[in-house]
Structure 1
Amino acid sequence: MARSARSARTPLRERVRAVNAAVGGASARAGRGTAGRLDDRLGMSRALRPQLRKLFPDHWSFLLGEIALYSFAVLVLTGTFLTFFYRPSMDVVVHQGAYPQLRGLAMPEAYDSVLRLSLEVRGGLLMRQIHHWAAVFFVLAIFSHLMRVFFTGAFRRPRELSWLTGIALLALALVESFLGYSLPLDQVSGAGLRMVDGLLLAVPVVGTYLSLFLFGGEFPGDVVIPRLFTGHVLLVPGLLAALVPLHALALVWVQKHSEFPLRGRSEDQVVGGPFYPFFIAKTAAFFLFTFGVIALFGAFGSVNPVWLYGPYTPAAASQETQPDWYFGFLDGALRLMPGWDVNVLGHTLSLGPLVPMLVLGLLFALLTFYPFIERRFTGGRDWHHLLQYPSDAPVRTAIGVAYVTFFAVLWLASGAGSLHHRLAIPPEPLIWALRAALLLAPALAYGVTLSLARRRRHRRNSPG
């Protein structure tokens, strides 16, 4: 009776607290016992302890690479959902869905499935738009991350392999984006496929065979969508899944993070927070933040409304048709190049599409091998863990700004049709002005940036 009376007089909150403490203590003891037994057999503690204390610097610019990583994770998650409803087929069906303007119209089954996914599947449109915005964030983050690495000299020895894998990731991201962009087979994506067909046909000697191989016959054929779908969900994601851990985790972990040259930092010293719990907590919160921002864009930012474009019809074309922003430079290069043809050894070479492809390929190759080119001219063979400010390397900074300016003019040229209609500028003078800007603007940007960077470096290094 006494024990019952004391129990009755004990407040309920204290009894609950005592029970939770007992259960929590038992769980903690069980967890420690399990961890101890695993450690006895695997010897993990000695290997993990220094890794968990590995220091990570804390600077906002390092988050650009993390945005790309988390956007890729969102792409995988939403893309898995979309594959349950998308049908990669070019068979012609009659649409009997919920959109009245297209009901009864013959269309490819791929386009019909995208319509139904967008307008009939619960949450389908939201998932499509999150997937599309995640692709935009993915490519934009990779571009921004590469520019940060370039302008701060983070590609220098011993990080050349990180630079090369980053360039490969950019190329794969562009290919993956184009594959996904083409799958709906609406009027806009079909125009992009028509452009690819023209580029393939412009390749000397083997162009016709390349086009036949991709389309399975005369454009548009009946196999290109299944082939693009296989590349989009299997081949390219597999390569990305292999390169992302190598670039973002393995190489960084082995070579350690680069750092900005602030006070108290040197080439052989790392300043930052430990991997656990500092970096784990920060990166988990940033993943949730990135996912939330992409979800907000997907919920409130309409993108790629395929029901407004209609199914692809090879005979139809629109001056306003434009690719996504990350392919604007390619479309702009084709618009600015005159349609010249030359005859060489009995073969007609279409310079209109061929020259832009060669120039862009050359620029991409120069970007890929730039770390080795700079090391050859500067003779710098030391290991560099401290970053540089852009003004510390004026020539490199000027080259980078000129490079960005060149592609910015091409990107602007991709909207020549819209500029013509909205600003009432005659098309021919507009094209000639953009051609002149393509040649003059990068040179002007190089000279101005070089002068400003040298002046900034001199002012910073001047005593007093």
Structure 2
Amino acid sequence: MIAPRIADAAESADQRYLAAKGIRPRLNKVFPDHFSFLFGELALYSFVVLLLTGTYLALFFDPSMAQLTYHGTYPNMNGIEMSRAFESTLRISFDVRGGLLVRQIHHWSANIFVAAIVVHLLRIFFTGAFRKPREANWLIGVLMLLIAIAEGFAGYSLPDDLLSGTGLRIMSGIMLSVPVIGTWLHWLVFGGQFPGEVVIPRLFALHVLLLPGVLLTLIAVHLAGVWYQEHTQFPGKRGMKRNVTGTRAVPAFGIKSTTLAVMVTAVLVALGGLAQINPVFHYGPYQPSQASINSQPDWYLQMVDGAMRLWPEWRIDLWGTYTVPAVFWPAVVMPLLLFGGMLGYPLLERRASRDSSSHQIAQRPRDVPVRTGLGVMAVTFTLVLIFAGLDDVIAFVFAIPIERLVWIARVGVLVLPPLAYLVAVRICRRLQRADSEVLAAGVSSGLIERRAEGYYVEVVQPLRPQTGEEDLVYPRYQGNPVPRLPGDLEVRSPGRR
């Protein structure tokens, strides 16, 4: 009885709005099968979990810095003066049904959301999927990463515990280090001297209203761009510029995507229930006079913390009026250069390569050694700075003088990125030579055959003749099936003895 009613309702809607005409092509949309294209969906589904858990937490959180004396469920904090923000965090953790689980799921989702964006951007960068006509989507992706980091920092600072308060104090110093406008930025966020009375309410408004709205808008625009411009695809037997190969949206890809959403949610729930993260009840409320080792932010801000630890104490006095502290360079200039380079890279590569044509086929990293080397160099630079941000923990655990670790990281941040660039370029060019050998001689079959003259050679599988424009630009291996017995295939070259 239900199915005929649904069919009648769909028929009625189609008669009025001609929905089938627009929906049918969308249902036939094809998505690539390669696993790397799912990182964007991983980010999307972790963001959905973020929204759901964040909405639940917002019902019980009190973003107030008014002071009170705690008398609650957690006995270790009884009698301690704290803000209402920290007290409500304790109440969520110990009194609200499922509060601690939801809070930890929310925190894990934030980490995985940013990580998925980073990996997704790396896939796009290394495969050249940012080239024309998809430059706008690359810019949107970089802006989403920047806003996701800001959103994570705002949420991370809300509990007003000792760890988040230390992070806010560092942010206060970074803002004040900006010449000319630093005091105005500080007033905009803190409303006066640190810590003030308004920073938590303002961060709460940013965290639950402004930044999620901007992220939702960017995600919608990004998905619309991907939907109408189609995905790039790797070259293959059927992968060409004029077609799209993969799985249709309905039903195969829909089932795959739904399964991924369920798996992402299940993993996040498991992490929230089994892996402790940000136990603010161990840190206590923020006190400006207190600090401890292992005061690191979440991983996506770790490189900024590491850069500040490595930068020497160089300050500049301008005309006796303005002072540029040392922290300004690693905490402000370096992130601006990093994100500015990411935003402008498509334009720089297009001008350097003089390539203004449209691209629908993804490149293998080995096909563009310089770009691959630059990406590996940037990743190495980031990893060294993350290592530097953990120097106090490493020094404590392994009983190593922290000064030695600082100098090791300083040398590493200067030496390792260029070395990684050279190694990556060398590997790419070696793989290109291997591809050229395959194109010239054929694919190695792994079979050894004895010749009439008494010597042995490896049987080489010849390639089929290349036809079509795509084959000339992106040669693909279209050989016959690899023979199972010696003598099944004519030897094209003597190969290796």
TM-score when scaled to structure 1? 0.93
Note the C-alpha offset of 1:129: 0.5
CA deviations 1:330-377 (Å, max 9, x no partner) are 100100011222211113433421111212311210111111100100
Match of 2:397 among 422, 432, 435: 422
The one-letter code sitting in structure 1 at the alignment partner of 2:79 is G
**Conservation of the 8 A alpha-carbon contact between 2:157 and 2:164:** yes
Matches of 2:281 and 2:8 in 1, distance apart? 59
Instruction: Establish whether residue 329 from structure 1 lines up as the match of residue 303 from structure 2.
Output: yes
SS in 2 for 1:349: strand
Match of 2:234 among 257, 260, 267: 260
The one-letter code sitting in structure 2 at the alignment partner of 1:296 is A
Unpaired runs of 5+ in structure 1? 1-25
The one-letter code sitting in structure 2 at the alignment partner of 1:176 is E
Residue in structure 1 matched with residue 355 of structure 2 by the alignment: 380
Residue in structure 1 matched with residue 152 of structure 2 by the alignment: 177
Residue in structure 1 matched with residue 104 of structure 2 by the alignment: 129
Alignment length, in residue pairs? 438
Residue in structure 2 matched with residue 98 of structure 1 by the alignment: 73
Matches of 1:213 and 1:41 in 2, distance apart? 52
Matches of 2:109 and 2:404 in 1, distance apart? 38
Show structure 1 runs of 4+ deviating over 6 A. Answer: none
Instruction: Establish whether residue 300 from structure 1 lines up as the match of residue 267 from structure 2.
Output: no
Matches of 1:446 and 1:351 in 2, distance apart? 31
Note the C-alpha offset of 1:429: 2.4
Residue in structure 1 matched with residue 482 of structure 2 by the alignment: none
Residue in structure 2 matched with residue 118 of structure 1 by the alignment: 93
What are the within-5 Å matches in structure 2 for residues 27-426 of structure 1? 27-247=2-222, 249-356=223-330, 357-426=332-401
Note the C-alpha offset of 1:57: 1.4
Unpaired runs of 5+ in structure 2? 442-497
SS in 1 for 2:323: strand
Note the C-alpha offset of 1:31: 2.1
- Give the root-mean-square deviation of aligned CA atoms: 1.1
Percent identity between matched residues is 45
SS in 1 for 2:82: strand
Matches of 1:396 and 1:78 in 2, distance apart? 39
Q: Which moved more, 1:267-276 or 1:30-39?
A: 30-39
Matches of 1:209 and 1:37 in 2, distance apart? 59
**Conservation of the 8 A alpha-carbon contact between 1:405 and 1:442:** yes
CA deviations 1:142-164 (Å, max 9, x no partner) are 01100011111111111101100
Residue in structure 1 matched with residue 416 of structure 2 by the alignment: 441
**Conservation of the 8 A alpha-carbon contact between 1:341 and 1:348:** no
Matches of 1:210 and 1:43 in 2, distance apart? 52
SS in 2 for 1:369: helix
**Conservation of the 8 A alpha-carbon contact between 2:46 and 2:265:** yes
Note the C-alpha offset of 1:225: 0.2
50 and 212 in structure 1: CA distance in 2 versus 1, 3 angstrom threshold: closer
**Conservation of the 8 A alpha-carbon contact between 1:139 and 1:170:** yes
Matches of 1:206 and 1:31 in 2, distance apart? 61
Matches of 2:8 and 2:401 in 1, distance apart? 79
Q: Which moved more, 1:329-338 or 1:279-288?
A: 279-288
SS in 1 for 2:133: coil
**Conservation of the 8 A alpha-carbon contact between 2:105 and 2:268:** yes
Matches of 2:322 and 2:313 in 1, distance apart? 12
**Conservation of the 8 A alpha-carbon contact between 2:180 and 2:322:** no
**Conservation of the 8 A alpha-carbon contact between 1:339 and 1:350:** no
Matches of 2:278 and 2:168 in 1, distance apart? 16
TM-score when scaled to structure 2? 0.87
Residue in structure 2 matched with residue 10 of structure 1 by the alignment: none
Matches of 1:346 and 1:122 in 2, distance apart? 58
Q: Which moved more, 1:64-73 or 1:356-365?
A: 356-365
The one-letter code sitting in structure 2 at the alignment partner of 1:281 is I
